[in-house]
Structure 1
Amino acid sequence: MTQEKSVLIVSDRPERAKLLARAITTIMPCRCLTGDQPLPDILPVVAVFDVDAREGAAAAWTARLGIMRVPCLVLTDVPADIGTRASPALRIVPADTPRPTILSLVFSLIDAGLKLPAYCDGETVTVQGKAQRACAAVADMFHAAQSDRPISAEEVDAGTDVVLEAVSEAGIRAWLDTIGRYDEQLYQHSLSVAGFAAAFAFDLKLPRADRKRLAKAALLHDVGKARIPRSILNKPGSLTPAEMAIMRTHAAIGADLLARQDGFDPGMLFVVRHHHEMLDGSGYPSGLSGDAIPDLVRLLTICDVHSALTERRAYREPLPHAEAHAIMLGMAGRLDMALLRAFLPIVRQSTPDDAVV
């Protein structure tokens, strides 16, 4: 995507949007869309949202545009539903804010938007573009699940394809570096696990269909977390037993959400439901063990655990990849050790050049 010097207004109040656009066009061209229209191919300098936050449109749009470094102004009476971490490029104000105040905020965001650095050229642009496309698919998936709308199997397929392409072309390290800049940890984790899954599948020389199944399962595996309270997801400390019990429902919730619609085969649903099972029966939700856990689940579990250990969380710093792998080697009996040893090349590829694995 390229960027044009214009302001985008997304609104379900056409007359109000028209008045706001008329004032903004005194300094910059303005375009108006409704909340159900797609993101334009050419990015604006600033986006303004004046839609019902309960429909999830503002949250989905700001998640996408925030990743693409587009400053956003959201007019809403339910700011908690936006679900985006505080950022200097995101302003949330009451929907009844006087128009002169709104204009002042828009003009200040225009100044900020014009000063933001452009994306790098060459290979990084390719990786960033693919990461943005994949993250858009993940954002849509989570917001659909949160608002009880159908999840688009076609959109998930498209997101899976671009993850596979990006990791194949640029490698897992470039992929992790790119998505590591994103603020939304829930999306970042899904993209990280999908990247590890794609790299692992390539290294194992799995057939194309199996590579896609594994990467797609990785994108979908945590969709049930869309129904877990953010106070639990983002808690900066240990969860209480009651909170942990709620957190552990996400796997079954995700599988049940997908089972209620077409486009997701039983094998995919099994992975989503059982990606926290352990070979010794200590996992959840069903306490499966041994041969009851198929290879696709075992592969994804390794990618999921490694990703979780090497990501920054509210309660700890990320672990180095070598340290994470060492911890996982200590999980003999719970993880498939043969597959974990086969994962070592991916650990090495993920590690900065000056580190030793």
Structure 2
Amino acid sequence: MNDMTPIQTTLKDWETDQEVRWCPGCGDYAILKAVQRTLPQLGANPAKTVFVSGIGCSSRFPYYVESYGFHTIHGRAPAFATGIKLANPELDVWMVTGDGDGLSIGGNHLMHVLRRNVNLQILLFNNEIYGLTKGQYSPTSRIGTRTPSTPLGSVDRPTNPCAFALGAGARFVARGFDVSKNLPDVLKAAHAHQGAAFIEIFQNCIVYNKDVFNDFAAPKGAEDQQLWLADGEPMLFAKGTKGISLDRDALELKVVDVVDGDWQAAGVLVHNVKNRSIAHMLIELPFGPFPMALGVLYDDPRPTFESAVIEERTKASAGKEANLAKLLAKGQTWTVPGTAQDPIGTRVPGQGGNPETQGRA
């Protein structure tokens, strides 16, 4: 079902002749380049790759990747991507959405593609603003955000995209940011996962929400505020001088100091990507007292939606003859021969017909 034989490509093979049209300095440029550089490393085949998007700045993505692409309608990219994967499971499907497209009008569709576990990669660009429609607040905007639609400051509690994904039943949840050198590794992990792989990518909107993530995602100087997670590795940050431990009495995470590199003595947790409870704690960590948890937060595969659908179809059709004419002639059907004098003809009961319903057509 998944004949994805690796092939050799280069960055140039994934670049289109389209002019990339985002605002100068937009984080989308960095994400696009990270994806285009990662695809050759995956051995991906442009002829078997599809990028699907909804509406928004991020959703211009399919124009800029030399593969099959589908720029769909607002919030409905998950529905299209699901249909594509069911129609041809051989395709490698990537879905690109934004915090507005994916979590407001598209929240319902996003929830279902996650809970169904359709085998595709979901990239949600989160700039905490509506960029394409000129800077209104979005479902992820912070309390107090001043925009044309919230001139006095937003009073909405923002949505946490990764918490949403985990709550919807996602089996792979990860985080990265646009200019991070580690983003390709997160993309590779998502691609290796069999099932719906959700990645939240913090993305700088240079015009309407500039530098809102600089505390942890600035190109330089924010490294100490990043907790990059790796399965089987201790949760260390700030050049290994601090770590994340579990307060077993309060059942909550805490920051501990690491002396002389002895993280075990400090009680630092070792990351286990299959531990859903710890993943949820990491996702909900308040930034400021804690670093931003990045990388693969949760990865615990289960059978995919399309594999279950194909298995069901196979069982239902076992031992049955594929005969459309026979199927159409089943039940209340008639033949209408017709003549030159009577082109409509008279109903004549055919196979499965009902003689009591004969009469003029």
Q: When the two structures are superposed, what TM-score results if normalisation uses the length of structure 2?
A: 0.26
Larger RCO (CA within 8 A; separation ≥ 6): 2
Q: When the two structures are superposed, what TM-score results if normalisation uses the length of structure 1?
A: 0.27
